[in-house]
Amino acid sequence: MLTKRGIDQGEEHIVIMVDNLAARENVSKLGVSQGYDVIVEQQEDIFHITMHKKSTPFSLAAPQNKTERDNRPLLPEVSILVKSDLFGCGDAELGQVLMKSFLYTLSETAGIKYVIFMNRGVLLTVQGSPVLDQLQALEDMGISVLSCGTCLDFYDKKEQLAVGAVTNMYTAMEILTKTAHNLTI
């Protein structure tokens, strides 16, 4: 909370000390997501997190001209596009087990910034989904969980969205083309 307050107040240099891995990851991800360079040093059982505001933070706002669009930096993070409620094309029961395991594993993987759900993938983000706990854990870690609004409308599930936010194709494409690494499942 104090880190967020410093960011909101426009602090350019922030140093935070935390005593556990979860806090280290959460604060680091928050800093990166808000346009800070983040350095973590461990001294005994304490993590010292130093954040410096970048001069040109990434923005999802539409570039004003071609030069601005071509000169925007890539985000160092990873974005993931989930196209189905099953992992893979084989047996449905196995696909559900693998998807649950995959989403859990994301919480243990550094650098994940966005998980975007399209087509049947949006069914994972609505009430009754067997992976809501995994998705909520991702969101609690500062990972953006985004569901396609057109897809939610198609499946008549927009009012049942249980985790994350609604997005559109433009924002999804902006994220996928500006993050350094992408994974599609």
| Average pLDDT score over the chain | 85
pLDDT of the residue at 55 = 58
CA-wise closest residue to 7 among 145, 177, 142? 142
Q: Domains (ranges, CATH) in the chain?
A: 2-53 (3.30.110.40), 75-184 (3.40.1260.10)
Tell me which DSSP letter residue 55 carries. S
**Is 33 within 8 Å of 79 (Cβ atoms)?**
no
pLDDT tens across 138-184, in order? 999 889 999 999 999 999 999 999 999 999 898 899 889 888 889 99
**Is 17 within 8 Å of 52 (Cβ atoms)?**
no
Q: Is the pLDDT of residue 97 over 60?
A: yes
